[in-house]
Amino acid sequence: MKRFLALMLAVVLFLLPFSVSATEDTPVIRSGSGESPKIALTFDDGPHPRQTDRILDLLAEYNIHATFFVIGQNAVYYPEPLKRAVSLGHEIGNHTFRHEGISKMSAPMLEKELADTEKVILDLTGVKVSLFRPPEGACSEAVLAAARHAEYPVILWTVDTRDWDLASTDKIVSTVESKVRGGSIVLFHDYTARTAHTLDALKILIPKLLDEGYEFVTVSELLGGE
């Protein structure tokens, strides 16, 4: 399935005006085509036993599906919110095993990070992930080589909410409102070291964006892979 999705994504890169770049057959994707009002909410660094569940509750309230880029080590520590996300129909992506030192890792070290995370997610949920987001959006030659080896497209983002930097609720809302468009991939986090304003901002943004005609989908749905 992963090989098929990677092949399909490589094909659509030539057919649709996605915001992408590519190095040696490794697609680096920052947005969808923009030809429809579909947007993708994405959440990095989870799972977390409280933050993830609160976000899942809110998404379920609006019957919205999102994509969660999971750290393998956190999935080992907190498997239940990951399992819940899958049971609710959300998409899971690979965000490395430890989320640290990625700029200093060789391609073989990164390949192990990706393989270990993929195995953890598969063992816990039965899901074989097909998307990869490097921590901090790092796209070094080693990162691209590891993604290519694992047959992952690299998924970045169109809108950075900076919730990881503890941006205020108002700032997150204004950032998304000013930058979102059809095809946007929006970066949030469901695990932050300190209390972020992610949930409060989502409570404002989701109904507002729905009223404006946007449709929330997973990254794969945004890119036509599902």
**Catalytic residue annotation:** 44, 189
Which residue, among 57, 125, 61, has the nearest Cα to 93 in the 3D structure?
Answer: 125
Q: Are 52 and 46 within 8 A, CB to CB?
A: yes
Identify the DSSP state of 84: H
Pairing, β 26-29 against β 20-23? antiparallel
Q: Which helix (H) or strand (E) holds 154?
A: strand 154-155
SS3 of 157-223:
CCEECCHHHCCCHHHHHHHHHHHCCCCEEEEEECCCCCCCCHHHHHHHHHHHHHHCCCEEECHHHHC
Q: Which residues of 175-199 are buried (b: 16+ CB within 10 A; e: fewer)?
A: bbeeebebbbbbbbbbbbeeebbbb
Cβ neighbours for 69, distance < 8 A, ≥ 6 positions apart: 42, 43, 44, 45, 92, 93, 94, 95, 131, 133, 155
